[in-house]
C-alpha cells in the first residue's frame, strides 16, 4: 500500500464510531488511540429503531454476567438528555392477508434514545481524554505491515495513511477488517436488510412500542413502530438477506407498502438501509492484532435485531482483554457466544413461520392469543427460558400436523 499522503503512527486504530467503537475508545487504556468514522461530526442520521430495553426488563431473561455488563454500558451511556421517550409496554400484532390481529400488549420498559447524541456524548468524552477522533474519514483498505497494520484513509483533506500496532473493526457488516482476521461471509439467511425512517401518523399510545409479524411485509423479520413521544415515530422493517438477494424482493418496496398499510407519513425523504447479521458470532473475530466487534463480529441478537447493548459489551470486552492480557476471542465467546448461538437456534425454529403466511395463519387458528403473545415476547427478549424452545417446537409440530 503506497501513497503520497501523510503518515500517522498509533497504538490502536478503531474503524467505526458507533456503539462498539465509541465504547471501546471510552474503556481502552492504551496511550495512542485513533477513532475514525465516515459520518459527519454530528453523527447522524442513524439507521436504528433507537430503542434500548431498561435493565429491569432484561434481568432474569439473559445470563447474569452478560446482564452485569449491559447494566454497566447503560449506566455509562444513558443520560437524561439522550432519552427522547419512555416506553412502558410493547404491543404485538400479526398481519396476514392484510388483516391485523392484535395480540395485546406486554410489559416492556425501555428507552427511545437519540442514538446519534448518545454516541456523540461518548465521543466528546474520549476526545477530551486524548483519543484522536477523525470524522468524515473513510478507511478504504488495511494491510499487514511491519508487525502491525497500515490503513489508507480518505477525507475531505485528501489521502492519509495510518500505521497501527492494533486494529479494531467496528464498522458494521461486512467490515474492512474481515479478511485480516480470516472471517467468512455470512449465509444470506443469517443476514437481514433493515430499513429505517422517521414518520408521523401513528395513533397508538405514545408509551407503547409496536412490532408486527407479517411475512408479506417483512419476510424473515418484522416491522416496527417506536413512538418518540412528540407525535413522530421511528419506523422500519427487517427483510431476511435470502429474500432480498436470492428471491429478489426489494426492501424499499416493502417499506413503502408498510407506510401505506399503517397510514404513516415520512418526515424525511430518504429511507435508510443497512445489512445486519442475524446469526451468531463470526467464525473468526480476532487475528494477529486485528479484532472485530459489534455488528462486524455478529453481536446482533438474531431474534429481535437488537444490537446497541451487545455492541457496547463487545467493546468493553476487548478493552478488558487488552488491559488484562486476556484473549479477546475466548472472552467474547464466553460472555456473548453461547447467548447469541441460543438466540440463533430459536430464530431458526421461527424461520418457517416468519417466511410463510400460510403457516402464520394456521398458527393464529390453533393457539390462544395469550400463548402467542408470550412466545413472541420471550423471543423479543432473547430469553434463556428453556420453556421458550419447548413451546416453539410444540407450535411448529401443531402447525405441521394441520397443514391444508
DSSP annotation string for 134-163: E-SEEEEEEEEETTEEEEEEEETTEEEEEE
Residue 371 is predicted with a pLDDT of 84
pLDDT digits (tens, 9 = 90+) for 88-114: 999 999 999 899 999 999 999 999 999
What distance in Å separates the CA atoms of residue 76 and residue 73, rounded to the nearest whole number? Answer: 5
Cα–Cα distances (Å) from 247 to 242, 250, 351, in that order, read 7, 9, 16
Residue 1 is predicted with a pLDDT of 61
Residue 25 is predicted with a pLDDT of 97
Q: Which residue, 104, 40, 110, 35, is CA-closest to 78?
A: 110
pLDDT band, very low/low/confident/very high, at 176 (cuts 50, 70, 90): very high
Residue 359 is predicted with a pLDDT of 85
Q: Is 240 helix (H, G, I), strand (E, B) or coil?
A: strand
Mean pLDDT of 155-172: 95
Residue 3 is predicted with a pLDDT of 58
Mean pLDDT of 345-365: 87
Residue 41 is predicted with a pLDDT of 62
pLDDT digits (tens, 9 = 90+) for 294-304: 999 999 999 99
- pLDDT beyond 90 at 60: no
C-alpha cell at 269: 425523504
* Cα angle 172-326-166, degrees, rounded to a multiple of 5: 50
Give the DSSP H/E element, type plus range, for residue 96.
Answer: strand 83-96
Mean pLDDT of 70-89: 96
Q: Are strands 272-277 and 223-227 parallel, antiparallel or unpaired?
A: unpaired
Residue 363 is predicted with a pLDDT of 82
Pick the CATH number of 7-343 from 3.50.50.60, 3.30.1490.190, 3.40.50.2300, 3.40.50.300: 3.50.50.60
- pLDDT beyond 70 at 226: yes
Q: Domain residue spans in the chain? A: 7-343, 351-397
- pLDDT beyond 70 at 122: yes
Radius of gyration of the chain (CA): 21
Provide, rounded to the nearest whole percent, the portion of the chain with pLDDT above 70: 91
Q: Does pTM surpass 0.75?
A: yes
pLDDT digits (tens, 9 = 90+) for 345-354: 889 988 988 9
More confident residue, 396 or 280: 280
- pLDDT beyond 70 at 309: yes
What distance in Å separates the CA atoms of residue 219 and residue 245, rounded to the nearest whole number? Answer: 12
In 222-271, where do the E strands start and end?
A: 223-227, 232-240, 265-266
Angle between the 64-77 and 308-324 helix axes, to the nearest 10 degrees? 100
Residue 269 is predicted with a pLDDT of 87
Give the phi and the psi of residue 209 in degrees, each rounded to 5: -75, 155
pLDDT digits (tens, 9 = 90+) for 6-39: 777 999 999 999 999 999 999 999 989 999 999 8
More confident residue, 400 or 240: 240
- pLDDT beyond 80 at 81: yes
Neighbours of 319 (CB within 10 A): 22
Residue 336 is predicted with a pLDDT of 97
What distance in Å separates the CA atoms of residue 238 and residue 194, rounded to the nearest whole number? Answer: 4
> Are 116 and 43 within 8 A, CB to CB?
yes
In a 13 Å sphere around the CA of 192, the CA atoms on its Cβ side amount to 32
Residue 225 is predicted with a pLDDT of 98
Mean pLDDT of 63-83: 95
pLDDT band, very low/low/confident/very high, at 396 (cuts 50, 70, 90): low
Give the phi and the psi of residue 84 in degrees, each rounded to 5: -100, -20
Residue 391 is predicted with a pLDDT of 67
In a 13 Å sphere around the CA of 88, the CA atoms on its Cβ side amount to 5
What distance in Å separates the CA atoms of residue 43 and residue 120, rounded to the nearest whole number? Answer: 7
Residues ≥6 apart with Cβ < 8 Å to 254: 195, 217, 218, 237, 239
- The average confidence (pLDDT) of the chain is 91
Residue 40 is predicted with a pLDDT of 75
Residue 282 is predicted with a pLDDT of 94
Give the phi and the psi of residue 146 in degrees, each rounded to 5: 55, 40
What distance in Å separates the CA atoms of residue 370 and residue 215, rounded to the nearest whole number? Answer: 21
- pLDDT beyond 70 at 178: yes
> Are 335 and 69 within 8 A, CB to CB?
yes
Residue 48 is predicted with a pLDDT of 81
Amino acid at each position: 500500500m503506497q501513497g503520497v499522503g501523510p503518515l500517522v503512527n498509533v497504538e490502536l486504530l478503531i474503524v467505526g464510531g458507533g456503539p462498539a467503537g465509541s465504547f471501546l475508545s471510552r474503556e481502552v487504556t492504551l496511550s495512542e488511540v485513533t477513532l475514525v468514522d465516515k459520518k459527519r461530526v454530528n453523527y447522524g442520521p442513524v439507521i436504528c429503531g433507537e430503542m434500548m430495553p431498561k435493565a429491569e426488563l432484561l434481568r432474569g431473561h439473559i445470563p447474569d454476567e452478560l446482564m452485569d455488563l449491559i447494566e454497566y454500558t447503560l449506566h455509562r451511556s444513558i443520560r437524561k438528555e439522550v432519552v427522547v421517550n419512555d416506553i412502558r409496554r410493547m404491543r404485538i400484532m400479526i398481519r396476514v392477508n392484510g388483516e391485523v390481529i392484535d395480540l395485546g400488549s406486554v410489559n416492556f420498559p425501555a428507552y427511545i434514545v437519540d442514538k446519534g447524541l448518545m454516541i456523540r456524548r461518548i465521543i466528546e468524552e474520549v476526545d477530551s481524554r486524548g483519543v484522536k477522533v477523525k470524522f468524515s474519514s473513510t478507511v478504504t483498505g488495511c494491510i499487514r505491515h511491519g508487525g502491525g497494520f497500515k490503513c489508507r484513509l480518505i477525507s475531505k483533506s485528501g489521502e492519509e495513511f495510518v500505521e497501527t500496532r492494533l486494529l479494531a473493526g467496528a464498522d458494521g457488516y461486512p467490515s474492512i477488517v474481515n479478511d485480516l482476521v480470516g472471517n467468512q461471509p455470512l449465509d444470506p439467511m443469517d443476514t437481514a436488510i433493515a430499513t429505517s425512517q422517521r414518520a408521523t401518523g401513528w395513533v397508538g399510545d405514545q408509551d407503547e412500542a409496536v412490532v408486527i409479524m407479517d411475512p408479506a411485509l417483512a419476510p424473515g423479520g418484522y416491522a416496527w413502530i417506536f413512538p418518540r413521544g412528540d407525535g413522530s415515530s421511528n419506523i422500519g422493517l427487517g427483510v431476511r438477506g435470502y429474500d432480498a438477494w436470492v428471491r429478489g424482493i426489494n426492501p424499499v418496496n416493502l417499506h413503502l407498502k408498510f407506510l401505506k398499510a399503517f397510514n404513516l407519513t415520512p418526515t424525511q425523504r430518504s429511507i435508510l438501509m443497512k445489512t445486519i447479521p442475524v446469526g451468531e458470532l463470526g467464525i473468526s473475530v480476532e487475528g494477529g492484532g486485528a479484532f472485530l466487534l459489534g455488528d462486524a463480529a455478529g453481536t446482533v441478537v438474531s431474534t429481535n435485531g437488537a444490537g446497541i447493548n451487545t455492541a457496547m459489551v463487545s467493546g468493553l470486552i476487548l478493552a478488558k482483554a487488552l488491559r488484562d492480557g486476556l484473549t479477546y476471542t475466548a472472552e467474547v465467546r464466553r460472555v456473548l457466544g453461547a447467548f447469541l448461538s441460543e438466540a440463533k437456534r430459536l430464530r431458526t425454529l421461527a424461520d418457517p413461520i416468519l417466511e410463510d403466511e400460510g403457516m402464520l395463519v394456521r398458527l393464529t387458528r390453533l393457539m390462544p392469543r395469550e400463548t402467542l403473545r408470550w412466545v413472541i415476547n420471550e423471543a423479543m427478549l432473547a430469553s434463556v427460558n428453556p420453556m421458550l424452545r419447548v413451546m416453539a417446537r410444540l407450535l411448529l409440530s401443531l402447525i405441521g400436523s394441520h397443514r391444508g
